[in-house]
Amino acid sequence: MNTSTVLTQGFSFQLTEEQVAVQAAAREFAQNELLPGVIERDELQKFPAEQIRKMGELGFMGMMVDPKYNGGGMDTISYVLAMEEISKIDASASVAMSVNNSLVCWGLEKYGTEEQKQKYLTRLATGEIIGAFCLSEPEAGSDATSQKTTAQDRGDYYLLNGTKNWITNGSSASVYIVIAQTYPEKGHKGINALIVEKGIPGFVIGKKENKMGIRGSDTHSLMFTDVKVPKENRIGEDGFGFKFAMSTLNGGRIGIAAQALGIASGAYELSLKYAKERKAFGKEIAQHQAIQFKLADMATQIDAARLLCLQAAFLKDQYADFAKASAMAKLFASKVAMDTTVEAVQIHGGYGYVKEYHVERLMRDAKITQIYEGTSEIQKIVISREILK
């Protein structure tokens, strides 16, 4: 982003020198560390473990965590800027980054006990280990009120049974936050959020999903059979799980909106470069009005999506209500990602349909941004509830 001043809902702010430096560092890392091998990782469905380890060393896996827990102590705006740059190159790496930052680290820091923070957060924030957020189920999807996974209260532990689907970082995580129903008769007030460690008896990781996009992302089903989870691994008070999930997802939407923004801006930058190089009918295709119109639409939509993302981040940093803003950012940015990548393939013509030009991968990656963290229809429900209050 070239301009340093942004206006949003009556607020104004300028990017600080630190925020600009974070953006530049993320861009440099993406170009030097993520771009080499990104096509191969996509083709082989290879999790970018080494790259994510380096992201942890640079502070990208716990950006907003308090330094006393080994985090970067950065604001949400810095996180959005970094997510955009990483996502321009490798959405599989950025979704791992998003889950670890927005869902796992943020949820633990805000609602966890001091013991939980010292045991888990201090290692998650550095990328020494990574986390997973386990809400979606085969029947319930992302509907936290319809959890079939159960956590029966057995005194000093919970007995966990059930299945979770579409879990990012599914086999690479060491710590899993699992949403489960303890008191079915209480509905959403009977749900708990539990910290489950990999390797605990009864916890089985299913096969990796063979996906259309973000193919390097580690997506699995998880099965829990009579898993004993100590009571001290519950996050918050008994029955707090639904509120925990909803609050955490509000922040998670900002990360996914920034990912969608990055996918879109990555496709746009490739298209702009290609349009200036490719010649047809005696001149660069960028000189043809049909291509100019496409580029103009792409640039306008991306700038609008960026403003929505920064607005949501700004409101979150101001401790204001950001539920509507985050849902709007996710809804709009994911649509822009899909629209922009389709046009990017069109601008590239036949070359856009082959892997070496990257845009076909970005188009495949874009679609998931309209699905996870709640589909576009769920975002519209969240927005309509907020505006009808």
Q: Give the domain ranges of the chain.
A: 17-130, 132-241, 242-388
3-state secondary structure at position 252: helix
Q: Which of 109, 373, 377, 386 is catalytic?
A: 373
Q: What is the DSSP letter of 211?
A: -
pLDDT value for 11: 52
Tokens in use for 71? 């985090």
Q: pLDDT tens digits for 293-348?
A: 999 999 999 999 999 999 999 999 999 999 999 999 999 999 999 999 999 999 99
* 150 has pLDDT over 50: yes
Calculate mean pLDDT across residues 137-147: 74
Q: Is 373 a catalytic residue?
A: yes
- Retrieve residue 63's tokens: 């950006």
Alpha helices by DSSP H, 199-240: none
Distance CA 56, CA 128 (A): 7
Overall fold of domain 17-130:
Butyryl-Coa Dehydrogenase, subunit A; domain 1 (1.10.540)
Give yes or no for residue 140 having a pLDDT over 70.
no
Reply yes or no on whether the pLDDT at 248 is more than 90: yes
| Reported CATH class of domain 132-241 | mainly beta
User: 3-class SS at 181?
Assistant: strand
In degrees, rounded to 5, the angle at the alpha carbon of residue 106 between the alpha carbons of residues 228 and 301 is 130
Prediction pTM value:
0.93
With 90 as the cut, is the pLDDT of residue 2 above it? no
Domain 242-388, CATH among 3.40.50.2300, 1.20.81.30, 1.20.140.10, 1.10.10.10: 1.20.140.10
Angstrom distance (rounded) from CA 198 to CA 92:
22
Q: Which amino acid is at 348?
A: H
The answer to whether the CB of 96 falls within 8 A of the CB of 52 is yes
Q: What six digits make up the tokens of 384?
A: 């309509």
How far apart, in whole angstroms, are the C-alpha atoms of residue 212 and residue 218? 13
Q: Is the pLDDT of residue 186 over 50?
A: yes
